Amino acid sequence: MPHFRTHILRAVHGWDAWNVTEDADLGLRLARAGYDVGDLPSNTIEEAPARYKAWLNQRTRWMKGFLQTSLTHGRTPLVTFRELGPLASLCAIALIPGTVASALAYPFLMLPAVVSLWPSRIEAGSDFWTNLPMGAAITVLVSGFVAMLLPAYIGCRRRGWHDLVPFVPLLPAYFLLVSFAAWRGVIELILAPDRWNKTEHGLSRTSRSGALTPHPPR
- In whole angstroms, what is the distance from residue 172 CA to residue 164 CA? 15
Measure the CA dihedral 7/12/13/16, to 10°: -130
Domain ranges of the chain: 6-40+48-196
What pLDDT, in 10s, does the model give residues 129-187?
888 988 898 899 899 999 999 999 999 998 888 999 999 999 999 999 999 999 999 99
Cβ atoms of 107 and 176 closer than 8 Å: yes
More confident: 64 or 125 = 64
**pLDDT grade for 209, boundaries at 50, 70 and 90:** low
- In whole angstroms, what is the distance from residue 150 CA to residue 171 CA? 11
**pLDDT grade for 95, boundaries at 50, 70 and 90:** very high
* Amino acid letter for position 77: P
- Residue 202's pLDDT is what? 65
Measure the CA dihedral 164/169/173/178, to 10°: 60
- Residue 196's pLDDT is what? 86
- In whole angstroms, what is the distance from residue 68 CA to residue 189 CA? 8
- Residue 218's pLDDT is what? 43
pTM over 0.85: no
Predicted confidence (pLDDT) at residue 116 exceeds the cutoff of 80: yes
Predicted confidence (pLDDT) at residue 60 exceeds the cutoff of 70: yes
**pLDDT grade for 188, boundaries at 50, 70 and 90:** very high
User: Phi/psi of residue 199, each to 5°?
Assistant: -100, 125
Q: What is the mean pLDDT of residues 125-129?
A: 84
**Helix/strand number for the chain, H first, E second:** 9, 0
- In percent, the amount of the chain with pLDDT more than 70 equals 90
Tell me which range, 38-47, 99-108, 116-125, is most confidently predicted by mean pLDDT. Answer: 99-108
**pLDDT grade for 1, boundaries at 50, 70 and 90:** low
CA R_g for the chain: 21
**pLDDT grade for 30, boundaries at 50, 70 and 90:** very high
Cβ atoms of 179 and 104 closer than 8 Å: yes
Predicted confidence (pLDDT) at residue 215 exceeds the cutoff of 90: no
